[in-house]
Amino acid sequence: MSAESSLPPGSRWTNWVGNQSFTPGHAAAPRAESEVAELVRRAAGQGLGVRVSAARHSFTPIVETDGLLLDLSALSGVVSADAGRRRAVALAGTPIHGFYEPLWQQGLALINQGDIDTQQIAGAIATATHGSGPRFTSLSGVLRGVTLVTASGELRTIAEDEPELLAAAQVAVGMLGVMTRVELEVTAAYRLREQVDLWSFDEVLERWDELVAEHRHFGLFWLPTEASGALYNLDGHGRPMADRCYVKIYDEAAPDEPDDGTPGRRVDRCYRIYPMVYDANFHELEYFVPLERGPEAMRAMRELMLASLPLSAFPLEIRTVGADNAYLSPNHGRASAVISVSGQPGTDYWPYLRAVDALLTQFDARVHWGKLHFLTPERLHALYPRAQDFIAIRRELDPQGMFLNAHLRALFN
Ligand SMILES: Cc1cc2nc3c(=O)[nH]c(=O)nc-3n(C[C@H](O)[C@H](O)[C@H](O)COP(=O)(O)OP(=O)(O)OC[C@H]3O[C@@H](n4cnc5c(N)ncnc54)[C@H](O)[C@@H]3O)c2cc1C
């Protein structure tokens, strides 16, 4: 294959945390959308499967292929931003941080974002990557248009005038084709105030309704042991952290509100407040339960984690996400309380993660496609009311299943 890849022939691809690796049959790094189309056409002619590697931050085997692996990092940059319509168009390989300055210069910003900003926008959209806030959707929920190279090798743009196709494309884990550009709904530039504090578990539960209703958004980490905070770089500034919650509350700040250096408080442009600093030493599972069942699920998780120590030493992260209509979205038709836990690399954390899965299944939990999970086809169809519609569109656009791999074929064939 032409379009020289950053992955030399015969070498192994490994994801960022190091729990997935494989050797693709071919690898290429196209520099233009037309080149992507040409590569897909040639792969189809040779009967090869095609998958894309973005920033490699997923924990699940959703990139793996023995066919053609594409690297779209050269297709990067915000192409246009329209302050009147609050829209931005970007190439698929644009990292999330690549939106910051181009949008801010137009008086715009991303509506919401997650804990890190190194993912490529197409990778983040493919798995419904989210931040927090019950009134804000994931990045998939703000996708208003997408250009895909489909299995026929054509560049096809799906926009709001094809709502069913768009609802399928918003969260597709790469199964409908190769995204080359995306159009996002964005918002007016805003500043954020972050207030961090340590609360007791009971205080969080008592103030849950206030946290949900009265702030722009919040997130928290419950720390099962004294050593847990350090695993996610959370600093208690000398205070005891075991069985406490590291609560982060966010509200919009006035344009002239200063950052006065108060401990635990930061005020800045939104995009300077969102990202956390992570080390790459955790393997994460993240499940989505109906928002109103969040406190009940948290209480059950605390009991399970205390009984599962030391396997469960990583913090329990809690966020919220707003509802959307995307067929495979974990937030389809319902706002979520999002619960994530991690296993320690190098230990057999599977019995613990299976116990988490068994517990949260009782709360009708849906999964994050990029994080460890135990979903079966039966559970997929019970939990995602439009899964069959997604599969029908997938089969229509890709009858030979060239964009499936073993992991995805087991669920979406
Ligand atoms: C440290 C860390 C922090 C994280 N924080 C969060 C968080 O706050 N919120 C959250 O929701 N998730 C979070 N995640 C998960 C992460 O956002 C998702 O796994 C996301 O998909 C990773 O994006 P990526 O660019 O690395 O994509 P990859 O992992 O490389 O790819 C993801 C999927 O998208 C497909 N894909 C990529 N590009 C294209 C394209 N152009 N066309 C078609 N398919 C494509 C890939 O084939 C793959 O199936 C975190 C992960 C890590 C490791």
**For residue range 166-209, what is the model confidence (pLDDT) as tens digits?**
999 999 999 999 999 999 999 999 999 999 999 999 999 999 99
pLDDT tens for each residue of 335-347: 999 999 999 999 9
What is residue 381's predicted lDDT score, i.e. its pLDDT? 98
**What CA dihedral angle connects 399, 58, 138 and 327, to 10 degrees?**
20
Cα-to-centroid distance, 200 and ligand 1 (Å): 33
What is residue 192's predicted lDDT score, i.e. its pLDDT? 98
Residue type, position 21, single letter: S
What is residue 10's predicted lDDT score, i.e. its pLDDT? 82
* Ligand 1 atom 32 nearest Cα: 123
Q: Is 56 in the pocket of ligand 1 (CB under 6 A)?
A: yes
Determine the Cα–Cα distance for residues 105 and 19; give it in Å rounded to an integer. Answer: 39
Domains and CATH numbers, the chain: 78-188 (3.30.465.10), 191-374 (3.30.70.2520)
Most informative mutation of 119, 155, 282 for ligand 1 (most atoms within 8 A of CB): 119
If pLDDT is split at 50, 70 and 90, which confidence band does 277 have? confident
Cα-to-centroid distance, 55 and ligand 1 (Å): 7
If pLDDT is split at 50, 70 and 90, which confidence band does 6 have? confident
What is residue 189's predicted lDDT score, i.e. its pLDDT? 98
| pTM metric for this prediction | 0.97
Q: Is 51 in the pocket of ligand 1 (CB under 6 A)?
A: yes
Asked if residue 76 has pLDDT above 70, the reply is yes
Give me the mean pLDDT over the 288-314 stretch: 97
- In sequence order, the 6+-apart residues with CB closer than 8 A to the CB of 260 are none
Q: Is 63 in the pocket of ligand 1 (CB under 6 A)?
A: yes
Peptide bond before residue 24 is cis, with ω within 30 degrees of 0: no
Determine the Cα–Cα distance for residues 71 and 120; give it in Å rounded to an integer. Answer: 11
Lowest-pLDDT choice from 244-258, 270-284, 375-389 = 270-284
Adjacency order of strands within the sheet including 366-367: 265-269, 191-200, 244-253, 217-223, 316-321, 336-343, 283-290, 366-367
Cα-to-centroid distance, 235 and ligand 1 (Å): 27
Q: Is 133 in the pocket of ligand 1 (CB under 6 A)?
A: no
Asked if residue 278 has pLDDT above 80, the reply is no
Q: How far is CA 122 from CA 1, 139, 146, 313, 361, in A?
A: 23, 10, 10, 32, 29
The residues that bridge with 147 in the sheet, in sequence order, are: 157, 181
pLDDT tens for each residue of 146-155: 999 999 999 9
- Residue 77 backbone class (left: φ over 0; alpha: ψ -120 to 50; beta: rest): left
Determine the Cα–Cα distance for residues 110 and 116; give it in Å rounded to an integer. Answer: 13
Share of the chain above pLDDT 90, in %: 94
- In sequence order, the 6+-apart residues with CB closer than 8 A to the CB of 114 are 124, 129, 130, 131, 274
Lowest-pLDDT choice from 3-12, 174-183, 210-219, 305-314 = 3-12
Determine the Cα–Cα distance for residues 162 and 281; give it in Å rounded to an integer. Answer: 42
- DSSP state string for 239-289: S--TTEEEEEEEEEE-TT------TTEEEEEHHHHSPPP--S--EEEEEEE
The residues that bridge with 247 in the sheet, in sequence order, are: 197, 220
What is residue 81's predicted lDDT score, i.e. its pLDDT? 98
Give me the mean pLDDT over the 48-60 stretch: 98
What is residue 8's predicted lDDT score, i.e. its pLDDT? 82
pLDDT tens for each residue of 161-176: 999 999 999 999 999 9
* Ligand 1 atom 50 nearest Cα: 57
What is residue 27's predicted lDDT score, i.e. its pLDDT? 97
Adjacency order of strands within the sheet including 26-28: 26-28, 68-71, 50-53
Q: Is 52 in the pocket of ligand 1 (CB under 6 A)?
A: yes
Give me the mean pLDDT over the 105-129 stretch: 97
Cα-to-centroid distance, 71 and ligand 1 (Å): 13
* Ligand 1 atom 52 nearest Cα: 57
* Phi, psi angles (nearest 5°) of residue 44: -60, -40
Radius of gyration of the chain (CA): 21
Asked if residue 281 has pLDDT above 90, the reply is no
Give me the mean pLDDT over the 254-261 stretch: 92
* Ligand 1 atom 51 nearest Cα: 57
Give me the mean pLDDT over the 357-363 stretch: 98
**Closest ligand 1 atom to Cα of 408:** 49
